Structure 1
Amino acid sequence: MAITKQYLKSKPVCKVTFSILAEDAEKVSVVGSFNEWDAEATPLKKLKNGIFKTTLDLDKDNSYEFKYLIDETVYANDDAADGYVWNDFASADNSVINV
């Protein structure tokens, strides 16, 4: 798993690329506070090497909670996240990204 950040000089936005290796998966989405935890809002594109990837524009000077949703059944955190925070609703940690 990997996260890359590219800050734009012309806008208060950071381009964040989310990627996860899920060779056997058919569908992966990233869900989080930036998209109201909507599984359909941010699908990742599967590359030939089995990595799923997408890039989002996120407002700078914010923190966002997120997880990957794999094949609509498995939630996974990103080991490259800036941190983790407990979520009582899910009874599990969520990944955190600071931009």
Structure 2
Amino acid sequence: MLERKKLKGGTQVTFVLPEDTPDGPVSVVGDFNEWDPAAHPLKPRGDGTRAVSVALAASSAHSFRYLAAGDYWFDDEQADGHDGANNRIRT
């Protein structure tokens, strides 16, 4: 799930997943963090989900995917679109 909050000059995008699906650590990786799995790991929240927020420039588009333990890559059903294997998000 994607949550968006407008900021001055950009958008805060929060990437949200259930706390235990999939099992183990999960990161959001994309062109906004040079596809670095250590840059944005999802962390547990009190509501039974885990999430991480990323500030993105206004009027921009980015490719991203989730990366879980065991080199398991997966998509977000709420992405704005796809560019081949990757999800796309627009701010």
* TM-score, with structure 2 as normaliser: 0.89
Counterpart code for 1:96: R
CA-CA distance at 1:46 after TM superposition: 2.4
CA-CA distance at 1:13 after TM superposition: 1.4
Q: Secondary structure at the match of 1:34?
A: helix
CA-CA distance at 1:52 after TM superposition: 2.1
Q: Secondary structure at the match of 1:38?
A: coil
CA contact (8 A) 1:6 1:16 kept: yes
Q: Structure 2: give runs of 5+ residues left out of the alignment.
A: none
Partner of residue 6, structure 1: 5
Q: How does 1:1-99 map to 2 (within 5 A)?
A: 2-8=1-7, 11-21=8-18, 23=20, 24-47=22-45, 49=48, 51-86=49-84, 93-99=85-91
* TM-score, with structure 1 as normaliser: 0.82
Tell me the alpha carbon deviations over residues 37-67 of structure 1, each in whole angstroms, 9 at most, x when there is no partner.
0010111102462x22111111111100000
Q: RMSD between aligned alpha carbons?
A: 1.4
Q: Structure 1: give runs of 5+ residues left out of the alignment.
A: 87-92
Q: How many residues align?
A: 89
Tell me the alpha carbon deviations over residues 2-38 of structure 1, each in whole angstroms, 9 at most, x when there is no partner.
1011112xx2110111012251522110000000000
Moved >3 Å (runs of 4+): none
Aligned-pair identity in percent equals: 33
Counterpart code for 1:5: R
